[in-house]
Each structure stands twice: as C-alpha cells, then as structure tokens.
Amino acid sequence: MAAAGLPVGPDADAVDAALAWHGGDPRATIETLLADCGHLRVQLAAARNCISRGLTRGWLPELERPIAEL
C-alpha cells in the first residue's frame, strides 16, 4: 500500500484503488467515474470533429463501445 492508502504495483486492483481514493465510498467512486466518462465523451466528440477522414484513412473514433466489448 502507498502512503495515501492506495494500492500500488503490478498486483494493484484498479477497483480497489478507486474505492480507496474515495475512502471506501462506492457512491462517490461511481459518481467520479461517471463524471470522468462524461468529460471524456465531450473530449472525444471534439476530437472526432477535428479529425479528417483522410488523416485516419477512413477511421473515426466512436462514442459507444460495440456490444461485443461489453
């Protein structure tokens, strides 16, 4: 464990780290993750509008994950 109580190293679990960051409060953890997701969606939408299809050879980033990845 790190000094701040966050797990570190190759065996650290991202879920445990996120919960530890919020003092074990699952609601606060979910709220932060949803806010981060919303922010990244806005950033992705802005990037999508700035990328030309020629630059990426026809590929554009998608806002939604394909069902197979869920």
pLDDT in tens, 12-53: 688 899 999 999 999 999 999 999 999 999 998 888 888 777
Q: How many domains does the chain have?
A: 1
How many Cα atoms within 13 Å fall on the side-chain side of residue 59? 3
Q: Considering the domain boundaries, does residue 38 fall inside one? A: yes
Eight-state DSSP code of residue 53: T
24 lies in some domain: yes
Residue 3 lies in a domain: no
Q: How confident is the model at residue 57 (pLDDT cuts 50, 70, 90)?
A: confident
- Give the pLDDT confidence score for residue 69 in this predicted structure: 59
Whether residue 6 is contained in a domain is answered as: no
Per the structure, the complete domain to which residue 30 belongs is given by: 14-69
Mean pLDDT of 55-69: 74
Q: Which amino acid is at 68?
A: A
Six token digits for residue 51: 């990328």
| Beta strand segments in the chain, E | none
| Residue 1 domain-assigned (yes or no) | no
Q: Is residue 59 part of a domain?
A: yes
Do the beta carbons of residue 6 and residue 23 sit within 8 Å? Answer: no
Nearest to 49 by CA among 35, 33, 60: 60
